[in-house]
């Protein structure tokens, strides 16, 4: 089965492709930069974008939204991790968390939609801690992966292989449910 995955983020595409091949699902990347309402939760962002883009494109699509939530700050940066990284950077993030509870979690909501149908959502969560320094700073990968140690692990995500990350990450958990859903309903 083939599905279009809408994302402008090549690394997300690679992660999700790796997960879905276990379900005999082949994905194709379509890099459309859709609107995300800044008051909306990641669930609302994923749901409304999936519905809108399916109807525009008139084909089944899947997309995801991922948030990061610091316990010390009422869910900041929430649905806006990219904006916060681009403005505050590691310097501002570390400053905010100095002396605070460093617990945080990632949440991914994947939304699958077919033309004329409502979106189906799949969700995954990964809890952990924000580090006090940046690991693998020069590596070309997702910025928060360099400062996040998942609960039960010893190292940041940036120090793991894709396979290791995909064995427990919140994005992998969401897309495994999606893979199971497709298997159950279409194969």
- Where along the sequence are the contacts to a second copy (CB under 8 A)? 33, 35-40, 73-80, 83-84, 86-89, 92, 95-96, 98
Instruction: Reply yes or no on whether 145 is catalytic.
Output: no
DSSP annotation of 158 reads G
Q: Is the CB of 10 or the CB of 38 nearer to a second copy?
A: 38
The four Cα atoms 173, 110, 24, 4 give a dihedral, to 10 degrees, of -150
Active-site choice (18, 65, 145, 151): 65
Rg over CA atoms, the chain:
17
Q: Residue 182 — φ and ψ, nearest 5°?
A: -65, -45
Closest contact distance (angstroms) between CB of 63 and a second copy is: 15
CA 9 to chain centroid, in Å, comes to 10
Closest contact distance (angstroms) between CB of 116 and a second copy is: 23
Closest contact distance (angstroms) between CB of 119 and a second copy is: 17
Residue 179 structure tokens: 């893979």
Q: Is the CB of 92 or the CB of 118 nearer to a second copy?
A: 92
Q: Which residues are catalytic?
A: 65
């Amino acid at each position: 089965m083939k599905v279009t995955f809408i994302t402008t983020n090549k690394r997300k595409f690679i992660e999700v492709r790796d997960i879905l091949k276990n379900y005999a699902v082949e994905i194709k990347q379509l890099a459309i930069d859709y609107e995300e309402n800044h008051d909306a939760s990641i669930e609302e962002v994923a749901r409304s974008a999936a519905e809108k883009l399916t109807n525009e494109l008139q084909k089944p699509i899947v997309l995801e939204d991922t948030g990061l939530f610091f316990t010390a700050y009422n869910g900041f940066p929430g649905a806006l991790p990219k904006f916060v990284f681009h403005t505050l950077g590691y310097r501002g993030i570390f400053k905010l968390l100095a002396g605070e509870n460093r617990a945080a979690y990632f949440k991914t909501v994947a939304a699958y939609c077919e033309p004329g149908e409502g979106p189906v959502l799949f969700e995954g969560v990964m809890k952990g801690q924000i580090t006090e320094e940046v690991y693998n700073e020069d590596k070309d990968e997702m910025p928060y992966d360099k400062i996040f140690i998942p609960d039960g692990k010893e190292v940041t995500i940036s120090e793991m292989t894709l396979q290791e990350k995909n064995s427990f990450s919140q994005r992998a958990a969401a897309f495994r449910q999606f893979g199971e859903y497709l298997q159950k309903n279409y194969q």
